[in-house]
Amino acid sequence: MADSRELRSRATIHAGGEWLAASSGATREILDPADASPFAVVAEGDEKDTDLAVAAARRAFDAGDWPHTPVAERAALLRRVAGLLVRDRETLGLLESRDAGKTVEEGRVDIDCVADAFRYFADLVAGEAPGRVVDAGSPDIHSVVVHEPVGVCAMITPWNYPLLQASWKIAPALAAGNTFVIKPSEITPMTTVALIDLLVEAGLPTGVANIVTGPGHTVGARLAEHPDVDLVSFTGGLISGTKVAQAAAVTVKKVALELGGKNPNVVFADACETEEGFDTAVDQALNAAFIHSGQVCSAGGRLIVEESVRERFVAELARRAQKIRLGRGTEDGVECGPLVSEQQRAKTEDFVASALAEGAELRCGGKRPEPSPRRPGSGYFYEPTVLDHCHREMRVVREEVFGPVLTVETFRTEDEAVALANDTEYGLAGAVWTADAGRARRVAGRLRHGTVWINDFHPYLPQAEWGGFGKSGVGRELGPAGLAEYRESKHVYQNLAPKPVRWFSG
């Protein structure tokens, strides 16, 4: 696998079963965010390359066998892909680490989750009934609702979880019988390119899976507006997602958007009454905010803690945050890697500067770390940062940072905690920490977020829907609803005993 990937380092556009260079000949260097050094070269596709890939997907859907392949065979192929992912776990985990800057262990976990997604959707479609019978009130009527593939699916994925986010779209799309064109982030495309190889190895027919590596303003924009695309699924930022929706509206195609969040982590004092409870809540607050340097759409970047325990909680949180071991994700002992790019680090620095100007108190971090052998000065590192005494009017509290920054707000009553947690234009995920089971259920029921954790943060299940309220997006990924996104429902009504209606006298 490594050899073939190296040989095709410039030909990363896959259309109609062939690996191609960009029609313009343009290429892009992929940088390792740990030291800003190039480690791969990919094709820099444009609208012409996108049209070629869409045409291949269109032919494969309209004239190919995949949409009509029996469900059991489609499920078997997905399981073969899962097996290949397990086989290549180490190689892909390392590649994900170099691509996105995360630790190798995080990369390995991502590959496990990708394999789980393929298995889940294989099992889901294999276990379904062929259709839903509708009682029409007469033995002479046979009425059934069936589900058919949408058609050609365009997929636009982000840079923070390149392969995981791709799998959340590709697995259900293939399970439903669709063809697709995927555009990975132009700065982290390598594992998605590798996945196309695995799909081909698993026996996916020619033209079903297509990829165009290139920027959003050309490749992504063309996919969103393309008249031969039947669905566009986008994961990324709010501004880009709005543009995708506007472009897709012209052709009235189906749209699914996952646009991130500003996620509250609500800690009640009773969760901290015991030393074990306090230790767990602090530990999980660190995980919520600083896993993958905070570059997670569901990151718990807003700590909302009861006032009576705020000082003790924040002091311990800051103490532990200062001890997080930053470095190159491929090295042993590193707990947190760099940000993905210089642009992302500059954005994070700007958020911290604005927060301090607006009155926040810096408890730790807030700067680039000193260079070291495991932390090259050329890398995009930024220290885990805790900002205390924050409030809703601050930009850092309102907007998604996508960096290792945790803001602290306080509350006195349950109603105030809920109001703060819901005071966001997003609504992707949130958590509540309490030893009171009744309070846990009440607060979880009142939070306007698509996923709510009680005494935990970050876990997800492929069988449970993922998505958000408000400006966190439209539609759901994973679970039965995630499969339904890639299907059209059709009602087939059969009259077994037709006869004249005699509505008209003539």
Annotated catalytic sites, by residue? 258
Query: How distant is the alpha carbon of residue 327 from its chain centre?
Result: 24
| Bridge pairing between strands 254-258 and 473-474 | antiparallel
C-alpha to C-alpha distances, 343 to 239, 346, 348, 350, nearest whole angstrom: 16, 5, 9, 11
State the Rg of the chain over Cα.
Answer: 24
Q: What is the DSSP string of 450-498?
A: SEEEES--S---TTS-B--SGGGEES-BSHHHHHHTTEEEEEEEEESS-
Q: What is the DSSP string of 398-446?
A: HS---SSEEEEEEESSHHHHHHHHH-SS--SEEEEE-S-HHHHHHHHHH
Contacts of 365 (CB under 8 A, 6+ apart): 321, 322, 382, 383, 384, 385, 386, 404, 405
Phi, psi of 206 (to 5 degrees): -55, 135
Look-up of token digits 């209606």: 501
CA dihedral 352, 357, 362, 364 (to 10 degrees): 30
Look-up of token digits 């196309």: 196
Angle at 384 between CA 378 and CA 389, to 5 degrees: 135
Contacts of 297 (CB under 8 A, 6+ apart): 158, 160, 235, 258, 260, 261, 400, 428
| Bridge pairing between strands 429-433 and 209-211 | unpaired
| Bridge pairing between strands 361-364 and 385-388 | antiparallel
